[in-house]
Structure 1
């Protein structure tokens, strides 16, 4: 049997070992150390944010983001129904209400027309406004954020960006030309899980241009402890700190990120050329106004399940994308706006191997399996 081909695994080919050795040699292995500060500083510079606060996961980053905007029980947050569950759960942590919004088919992200229509309708009728809109940039492709940013600005609604899957993705043209995802809303959130385009083993980052939000984010992620020798705390905080060891990995990975993105884009281009002519196949989104990072290669096909079975039988890891959140038992009664397109995408989308370390031979094997007969 051929060796297994992973879907999206880390690539540790830079200074990871050297920086980890520094952590061990200096005993800075916990949540304080020079690599945490360096990672925050260099990450902020890379994405173009004034501040970055490292934390334990992308989910933790979102949870803190909702604390920062003072999300209260009963408040509503508009969020896409087609997303990983971690985009929605932090809303529930604060006993607020997710309003699950359908996707649009050009990018698979939240439909901005539905967001604008819902908010303007609330304004006309004098109903309570949503507290926030959470825009998720799925699979490395920027969402259509301009209309959402405009309507949020108009009514003072917080715009939160879940950029967990889209590090390296930017806008091209328009008002946000050159801007990195996660730097347009009030707060951006990123993930460094093991399957992401770069990893710290597990970790996240909060970005903002607001110094007070950055200060409070750091405060909340460190148990809301006050300065000084005494153990005094002024509010409920969290142990959401990133360790110096994890940050050391992050610094090494960030150094290689441009090369990672270039390799992901190269892999995507080869798949596009090989699979685009197959009847019924819809290639991943590639909007002219976006520069995607191509984190995960996910196409649409009515043959999704047979293809999935064929790949798995030949030791090739592949997966469907998520079940639409409105189909999950804990969110079936949540308010929603549409959902049919999210269900269509969930039924047809297939993610295939696209690791940075994927060899030409391995990719050729995946292509051969999918184009066979």
Structure 2
């Protein structure tokens, strides 16, 4: 029995951060002004290969701002994945628009075949607009999530986006550090190919500021508008003139003080995650009934989360039974998110041929994957998986 709790995914923080935090306290710049915000924005922009990045309160706030500046309005529709965290979809409703749910492929990302099939057969393309035959509403955009840091099939997605004149928001909240190795977009980071990309720095992400997010785009006008809206849309900050409704979506300087240190260590985090993934894979390949899902070979994924599919007939217990056993042994694991088309706020929304996502919802677990996970901890997880495989339930 394991006596030490092994968490699923926790921050990897260094006491070096304290010097930055000390500066914010000594200068009084702990809130939404101060040098660390600009420094963090600059470091993220340089890392992912864009000219400019805008810090914000969270990844969710970034998605909301992205939808706002792309002119998503009341009555519009946006195509989204059903297999993702609900924060990727809720901002569509913030704008008064409605999501259309799409199935996943075996990368857990949006199924491009079904996406194209839906647009071709269930929609009309009239005067540069996609009209949903069922709802008669205009579909304006796609939100594509790079699930668990595994990049979406971007070349196909861009072809579809361009063919149907749709806006593309890349939800790269789980994919900071993931980029393409081959094809037209080789060298491009997730989040930098579509119209707007969004990153998250929540506590369980590969880089954390405790909370916070970042928005990137090659369209500087969009970023300027996002920056303007995120600080309450002050047209004249001296005299507090506001010509539009804005939001209090600013990142604090004390959060950015964490981020400027974290971004410098990101490649080390990814190196550890890849190493631990390979340790897991070598062993899990020899455990009958378990499959550790791969990351695409034509990309460099950040390997944010590790996903294991459980086959009851071969393993001896189902996903839920394994989940309870591991957590009971102080090994924190979690199931996949509940599919969003099944969540109460979205039961009436349209979904298209959702099949594969159902399989993964029922049979997948995530196992410990922190960037400070030790080899000994990996061995404890693997020992538990191996022993449980031999136990008759």
TM-score by length of 2: 0.92
Residue 337 in structure 1 maps to residue 352 in structure 2:
yes
Tell me which residue corresponds to 1:244.
253
CA–CA separation in structure 1 for the residues paired with 2:237 and 2:53: 23
CA–CA separation in structure 2 for the residues paired with 1:228 and 1:83: 38
Pick aligned residue for 2:343 from 304, 310, 328: 328
CA–CA separation in structure 2 for the residues paired with 1:66 and 1:177: 27
Pick aligned residue for 1:301 from 310, 313, 327: 310
Tell me the secondary structure at the aligned position of residue 49 of structure 1: coil
Residue 94 in structure 1 maps to residue 95 in structure 2:
yes
Structure 1 stretch displaced more, 123-132 or 46-55: 123-132
CA–CA separation in structure 2 for the residues paired with 1:352 and 1:228: 48
User: Offset of 1:122 from its aligned partner?
Assistant: 5.5
User: Offset of 1:297 from its aligned partner?
Assistant: 1.1
Pick aligned residue for 2:212 from 195, 203, 214: 203
How has the CA–CA distance of structure 1 residues 352 and 200 changed in structure 2, closer, same or farther, with 3 Å as cutoff? same
Tell me which residue corresponds to 1:65.
66
User: Offset of 1:123 from its aligned partner?
Assistant: 6.0
Pick aligned residue for 2:149 from 137, 140, 154: 140
Tell me which residue corresponds to 1:10.
11
Structure 1 stretch displaced more, 331-340 or 236-245: 331-340
Residue 283 in structure 1 maps to residue 283 in structure 2:
no
Tell me the secondary structure at the aligned position of residue 36 of structure 2: helix
CA–CA separation in structure 2 for the residues paired with 1:125 and 1:147: 19
Tell me which residue corresponds to 2:53.
52
CA–CA separation in structure 2 for the residues paired with 1:104 and 1:360: 31
C-alpha RMSD of matched pairs (Å): 1.3
CA–CA separation in structure 1 for the residues paired with 2:16 and 2:57: 22
User: Offset of 1:120 from its aligned partner?
Assistant: 2.9
Tell me the secondary structure at the aligned position of residue 291 of structure 2: coil
Contact 1:14 1:252 in 2 (8 A): no
Tell me the secondary structure at the aligned position of residue 147 of structure 1: helix
Tell me which residue corresponds to 1:257.
266
Per-residue CA shift, 1:255-295, capped at 9, x if unaligned?
Answer: 10000000011111100011122223222232221211111
Structure 1 stretch displaced more, 139-148 or 256-265: 139-148
Structure 1 stretch displaced more, 361-370 or 226-235: 226-235
User: Offset of 1:154 from its aligned partner?
Assistant: 2.5
Structure 1 stretch displaced more, 114-123 or 20-29: 114-123
Contact 2:180 2:188 in 1 (8 A): yes
Tell me which residue corresponds to 1:223.
232
Tell me which residue corresponds to 2:330.
315
Tell me which residue corresponds to 1:104.
105
Tell me the secondary structure at the aligned position of residue 12 of structure 1: coil
CA–CA separation in structure 2 for the residues paired with 1:228 and 1:110: 42
CA–CA separation in structure 2 for the residues paired with 1:228 and 1:163: 32
CA–CA separation in structure 2 for the residues paired with 1:244 and 1:209: 25
Tell me the secondary structure at the aligned position of residue 282 of structure 1: strand
Contact 2:48 2:192 in 1 (8 A): yes
User: Offset of 1:119 from its aligned partner?
Assistant: 2.2
User: Offset of 1:157 from its aligned partner?
Assistant: 0.9
Contact 2:236 2:242 in 1 (8 A): no
User: Offset of 1:317 from its aligned partner?
Assistant: 0.8
Tell me the secondary structure at the aligned position of residue 290 of structure 2: coil
The 5 A counterparts of 1:137-176 are 137-176=146-185
CA–CA separation in structure 2 for the residues paired with 1:367 and 1:273: 10
CA–CA separation in structure 2 for the residues paired with 1:195 and 1:175: 32
Per-residue CA shift, 1:321-342, capped at 9, x if unaligned?
Answer: 1011111111111111111111
User: Offset of 1:245 from its aligned partner?
Assistant: 0.2
- Structure 1 runs, 4 residues or longer, greater than 6 Å off: none
Tell me which residue corresponds to 1:269.
278
User: Offset of 1:121 from its aligned partner?
Assistant: 3.2
In the alignment of these two chains, the number of paired residues is 372
Tell me the secondary structure at the aligned position of residue 99 of structure 1: strand
Tell me which residue corresponds to 2:301.
292
How has the CA–CA distance of structure 1 residues 125 and 360 changed in structure 2, closer, same or farther, with 3 Å as cutoff? closer
Gaps of 5+ in 1: none
Contact 2:81 2:145 in 1 (8 A): yes
Tell me the secondary structure at the aligned position of residue 131 of structure 1: strand
